[in-house]
Amino acid sequence: MPRGRDPRFGLDADDAGCTILHVDMDAFFASVAVRADPSLRGKPVVVGGVGPRGVVSSASYEARRFGVRSAMPTARARMLCPRAIFLPVDGPAIGEASRAVMSIFRDVTPLVEPLSSDEAFLDVAGAQRLLGRPVEIAQLIRRRMLEEQRLTCSVGVAPTKFVAKLGSTRAKPDGVVVVPAALVLDFLHPLPVDALWGVGERAAETLRRLGLTTVGEIARAPIGMLRGALGEASATHLHELSWGRDPRAVSPEREEKSIGAEMTFDTDVADPLVIRRSLLALSEKVGARLRASGHVGRTIAIKVRLADFRTVNRSRTVSTSTDVAREIFETVWNLFTALGARDHIRLVGVRVEGLTDAATTSRQLSLGEPERGWREAEAATDAVIARFGRASVRPASLLGQSDLRRTENHPHSTVVPLSDPPTPS
């Protein structure tokens, strides 16, 4: 067994009642890149934003030995590992690999709760009759992943979701950790306080000032002490988790709460035209994602991060749910101009919240609004992009003169004006 893994939580551990699996792919984005180019195998590979303001999305374990981690600025990763191979995220390849991974999960059980493109909870209680014990199912998933996808994954097997997720973290890379019901506290209590869900840097520092550095110390601390430091809700939440209590079931239907997109500038920006174009591009992306997911939303929000890393968030709830980029952008631009921001800006983001099913949400027309217009134009744009690619159609205000010249020569190009909606047919 690899160094650092306790044999009490290995493949021979008692998995009776441990029907929750958390499966997490190993260095997913980097592994997909290595699979596409086997010459990268064994080398430090970093995937993410490759520009000066980029952020690491994934790093191979060879790169992690140098201290490179996900969410780290790419510039910092280059300093730590200058010989690493830096690659942009291959969205289509990641999407295809994610669908294949989730398909393997759903072959095992219909009770799959995806957390992201590369991890999910599985409830295998009903699968045991056909596929065997939970640990045998974990091994089956790992074997299929390797044989069919040439990817590795790590699996936590436990009685609850929280402990299963901690187990998969301990199992990395390419392993299985089983946490028997009788040993949950033995597993949990030596862990540092930031292993608990909801404990970020600030909460961890608060707990350390109280002399609480492990999960076991939180479990034994007076609940009143936790309330005084963290508040009622957080204190109760952490106290329950510290005793291994997590009643949540695996939920296959995860309700999307929001859809958004962000953009980090290569250099800090103060030009209102650049910011306006960026917010329009983000609104276009969010609108397309909403339509693709079949959702509409009423609350539109912006995120603005200034050069000194101060972050401002503003939102507005509109009268009618929407998935129309034009409508999203109008609200976004009004929110931004109301900020009166004069400092240089590092990042902007657009998000739509309060989502509902578009098919069951009636859309009320404003006075004087045509029955057909922007939404139909954007839906037609979606179809063009799906067939010919994103470069084939863009709002004219997003194009410079050189872009416009290239567009005129593109056999399938369409320029959508920003100012006026299309004439209803």
Q: Which residues are catalytic?
A: 119
Gap between the Cα atoms of 32 and 54, Å rounded: 19
What value, to the nearest 5°, has the Cα angle with vertex 79 and ends 77 and 84? Answer: 60
- CB of 252 within 8 A of CB of 316? no
Query: Tokens 């540092």, residue?
Result: 192
- CB of 256 within 8 A of CB of 355? yes
> How far is CA 349 from each of CA 54, 260, 265, rounded to the nearest angstrom?
15, 7, 11
Query: Residue positions in the annotated binding site for Mg(2+)?
Result: 24, 118
- CB of 415 within 8 A of CB of 400? no
Gap between the Cα atoms of 59 and 29, Å rounded: 8
- What is the H or E stretch that residue 346 is in? strand 345-357
SS3 content of the chain, % helix, strand, coil (to 5): 45, 20, 30
- Report strand pairing: 176-178 vs 153-158: parallel
- CB of 53 within 8 A of CB of 219? no
Gap between the Cα atoms of 61 and 51, Å rounded: 22
Sheet holding 311-322, edge to edge: 258-269, 345-357, 295-306, 311-322
Amino acid at 49: G
Gap between the Cα atoms of 210 and 217, Å rounded: 10
Residues 6+ apart with CB under 8 A from 140: 108, 131, 132
- What is the H or E stretch that residue 54 is in? none
